[in-house]
Amino acid sequence: MADADFMPIKNWDHIEFYVGNAKQAAHYYCSTFGFVPVAYAGLETGLRDRASYVIQQGKIRFVLSSGLGPESPIAQHALLHGDGAKDIALEVPDAEQAYHNALSRGAKSAMEPTVTEDQHGKVKRAAIYTYGETIHSFIERSNYNGPFLPGYRAIEPTAAQLARDCGLRAIDHVVGNVELGKMNEWVKFYEDVMGFTQMIHFTDEAISTEYSALMSKVMEGGHGKIKFPINEPAVGRKKSQIEEYLDYYRSPGVQHVAMITGDIITTVKKLTEQGVEFIQGISSYYDELEGRVGKIDEPIEELAKLGILVDRDDDGYLLQIFTKNVQDRPTVFFEIIQRKGARGFGEGNFKALFEAIEREQALRGNL
């Protein structure tokens, strides 16, 4: 495979969000989504300009960072974009090799290879830019056994925090929104610079409603472990959800992060109880469901009550649901997904989903 040649990737490492108030954001993700705090860096650990909270659930690791003054690049990022995903960090066997290979194929540097260490060992990291101001860090951590990265101190989660676990286990895919006409440029970037291959292409005919349309291609690397769908708006009668995102994020950026669960009904029940808000479909969706996807293991009344969507492809079926935006701007949201064989992204649900999103857009005066 092409990616094995020059860009071996072990797995997702973490996603770092730049936010206005990391302490409160960490609390939000822990109390509602069921993450637990595992590490912290800030004034008390010798940093002068930022605070970072590392939270985890299953293998999913998020970092919430905020700047401590207006001169901080983190604070400036949050001012311009609102809360957003800055770094989709990937674990690699060799950060220096990944960085130099990416640069020699046209990537723009975000951070030269740097080694940091503490009593737990050494980490080597480097970073490149992708769409907008988003970056990919390459993290080489095989010689490290600390709580996160050198400089972070461990936090012991409390029993109450652990009890909020919602069964989220790993990152499935991370979706980027780019400007009109730019999708193919970024597809080529992931092919040329990262050695990814194109998995699926959704045209605007496939993804359109009465009002808006979008196009999407899915790039895959790390032997299928890393999936990056890339969306661009298509010309529709009114403003697409991608354009709304771009207007409020003020640049291309991460639209949603999909997280895997092994039992979506239990997961979504608990997330809902703990305050996560989901986009709700329409009840007629469930009347037609069995005709569309055939027999499934889950009771359809249960799915209808929670608003979980189902789609089938050649390999099996999947269940999915989307949260509302998790900050004031209509930008970033999350997907919860359970795969029962299916490798797709729920294309059969796109129309119903986008109509539901458009109802929210209309409420915001943005359709």
Q: Which residues bind Fe ion (CB under 5 A)?
A: 258, 335
Q: Which is nearer to Fe ion, 220 or 335 (CB)?
A: 335
Q: Which is nearer to Fe ion, 41 or 257 (CB)?
A: 257
Give SS3 for 291. Answer: helix
Question: Side chain identity at 51, as an amino acid letter?
Answer: A
Q: Which is nearer to Fe ion, 101 or 349 (CB)?
A: 349
Q: Which is nearer to Fe ion, 54 or 258 (CB)?
A: 258
Q: 140: buried, middle or exposed (CB in 10 Å: 19+, 13-18, 0-12)?
A: buried
Beta bridge partners of 259: 171, 336
Q: Which is nearer to Fe ion, 99 or 190 (CB)?
A: 190
CB atoms within 10 A of CB 5: 9
What CA–CA distance (Å, rounded) separates 6 from 189? 14
- Cβ contacts of 162 within 8 Å, gap of 6 or more: 36
Beta bridge partners of 62: 15, 55
> Residue 174 Cβ, how far from Fe ion at the closest point, in Å?
9
> Residue 61 Cβ, how far from Fe ion at the closest point, in Å?
19
> Residue 283 Cβ, how far from Fe ion at the closest point, in Å?
23
Q: Which is nearer to Fe ion, 311 or 335 (CB)?
A: 335
> Residue 226 Cβ, how far from Fe ion at the closest point, in Å?
14
- Do residues 256 and 203 lie in contact, with contact meaning Cβ atoms separated by under 8 Å? no
- Do residues 318 and 310 lie in contact, with contact meaning Cβ atoms separated by under 8 Å? yes
Q: Which is nearer to Fe ion, 98 or 258 (CB)?
A: 258
- Do residues 105 and 192 lie in contact, with contact meaning Cβ atoms separated by under 8 Å? yes
Q: Which is nearer to Fe ion, 25 or 258 (CB)?
A: 258
Q: How many residues does the chain have?
A: 367
Extract the tokens encoding 278: 């989901």
Question: Side chain identity at 333, as an amino acid letter?
Answer: F
Give SS3 for 39. Answer: strand
CA angle 221, 226, 275 (to 5 degrees): 165
Within 13 Å, how many C-alpha atoms sit on residue 333's CB side? 18
> Residue 332 Cβ, how far from Fe ion at the closest point, in Å?
13
> Residue 311 Cβ, how far from Fe ion at the closest point, in Å?
11
> Residue 180 Cβ, how far from Fe ion at the closest point, in Å?
20
> Residue 272 Cβ, how far from Fe ion at the closest point, in Å?
19
